[in-house]
């Protein structure tokens, strides 16, 4: 049965800006999915420890203000440093349940000094090993006030039964060239992670599926004003301008023909399941394959730099 895969869409809210408690929610979701025999579980963009909603609510672009400095420092202190073992518990659960995981994190990597953060998408395989960490190439609009731009090192795909799976963060999914890079690696199950809301997922999910003749799984978080912990710094100023619903979900799945397998799920927190069949990929590639029989590499080619970027190189 290598041609079928049971997938779980974990549309959950973070315990906002609390790394430890949000990781516990991730672990609970994995354990819940294991009882349903899921083989792959996907979480939203930057779920641990949460999306920087304060930027749009507290004048995030204002220069040198105490509130923005305090919230940024709090955010960084609750971000994930993989080298220090912050994801060891998730890896252990993945191995225990033989379940692959795509998890959106705010990463605080030591190879860039350990003080800046990146919106990263981590793939953990069914043996509990971290196989790729894709740092978002270009933070979107106000995200640039707190996230740093990544690099191409994480533009990787992975074998999962008969499938070849890869993923991108949020508006990276609108970037034609990163998509093409993954297609060229043989991707046929595309993971698109989002901070939340169907206005992101309802069009692009089906478009990528139809363009690539692949399955596309979009997973978002949910977030309401009730999900802000009471000990959040400057909470009163955040809530002053916050809408009741900051992220309504919108997690969904499109098949290789671009039609819905799971329509966007709105205003529900939970783990949702579908089983997909690899043979549908081969059927739809019969008439279109963007990097195979319907490509012209003699005319257009893409060059991709996958070197992990760093400010320093030491020769001892």
Q: What is the CATH number of the domain that holds 208?
A: 3.60.110.10
Alpha helices in 185-264 (DSSP H): 198-212, 235-241
**Residue at 292 is within a domain:** no
CA distance 124 to 210: 27
Contact (Cβ atoms closer than 8 angstroms) between residue 157 and residue 8: no
pTM: 0.96
CA distance 20 to 5: 30
Length of the chain: 316
**Residue at 293 is within a domain:** no
The domain tally of the chain equals 1
Residue 77: closest CA among 10, 37, 20: 20
**Residue at 303 is within a domain:** no
Q: Give the up-direction half-sphere exposure of residue 55: CA atoms within 13 A in the CB hemisphere.
A: 15
Residue 47: closest CA among 72, 29, 71: 29
**Residue at 111 is within a domain:** yes
- If DSSP codes are grouped into helix, strand and coil, which group holds residue 298? coil
Q: What is the pLDDT along the chain (316 residues), one digit of tens a residue?
A: 899 999 999 999 999 999 999 999 999 999 999 999 999 999 999 999 999 999 999 998 999 999 999 999 999 999 999 999 999 999 999 999 999 999 999 999 999 999 999 999 999 999 999 999 999 999 999 999 999 999 999 999 999 999 999 999 999 999 999 999 999 999 999 999 999 899 999 999 999 999 999 999 999 999 999 999 999 999 999 999 999 999 999 999 999 999 999 999 999 999 999 999 999 999 999 999 999 999 999 999 999 999 999 998 899 9
Residue 111: closest CA among 155, 149, 81, 156: 81
**Residue at 142 is within a domain:** yes
**Residue at 297 is within a domain:** no
**Residue at 106 is within a domain:** yes
**Residue at 86 is within a domain:** yes
Domain carrying residue 104:
4-285
């Amino acid at each position: 049965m290598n041609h079928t895969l049971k997938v779980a869409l974990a549309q959950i809210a973070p315990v906002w800006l609390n790394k430890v408690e949000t990781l516990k929610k991730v672990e609970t979701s994995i354990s819940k999915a294991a009882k349903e025999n899921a083989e792959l579980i996907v979480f939203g963009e930057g779920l641990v420890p949460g999306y920087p909603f304060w930027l749009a609510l507290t004048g995030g672009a204002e220069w040198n203000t105490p509130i923005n400095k305090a919230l940024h420092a709090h955010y960084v202190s609750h971000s994930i440093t993989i080298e220090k073992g912050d994801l060891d518990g998730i890896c252990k659960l993945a191995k225990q349940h033989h379940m692959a995981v795509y998890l959106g994190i705010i990463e605080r990597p030591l190879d860039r000094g350990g003080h800046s953060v990146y919106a990263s998408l981590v793939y953990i395989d069914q043996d509990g090993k971290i196989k790729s960490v894709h740092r978002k190439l270009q933070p979107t609009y106000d995200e640039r006030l707190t996230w740093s731009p990544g690099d191409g090192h994480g533009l990787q795909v992975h074998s999962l039964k008969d499938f070849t799976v890869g993923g991108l963060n949020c508006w990276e999914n609108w970037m034609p060239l990163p998509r093409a890079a993954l297609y060229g690696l043989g991707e046929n199950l595309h993971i698109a992670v989002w901070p939340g809301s169907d206005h992101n997922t309802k069009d692009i999910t089906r478009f990528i599926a139809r363009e690539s003749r692949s399955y596309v799984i979009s997973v978002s978080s949910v977030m309401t004003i009730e999900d802000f912990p009471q000990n959040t710094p400057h909470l009163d100023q955040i809530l002053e301008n916050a809408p009741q619903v900051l992220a309504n979900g919108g997690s969904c799945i499109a098949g290789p023909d671009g039609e819905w397998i799971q329509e966007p799920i709105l205003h529900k927190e939970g783990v949702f399941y579908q089983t997909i069949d690899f043979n549908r990929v081969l059927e739809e590639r019969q008439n279109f394959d963007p990097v195979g029989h319907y490509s012209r590499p003699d005319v257009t080619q893409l060059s991709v730099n996958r070197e992990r970027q760093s400010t320093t190189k030491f020769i001892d």
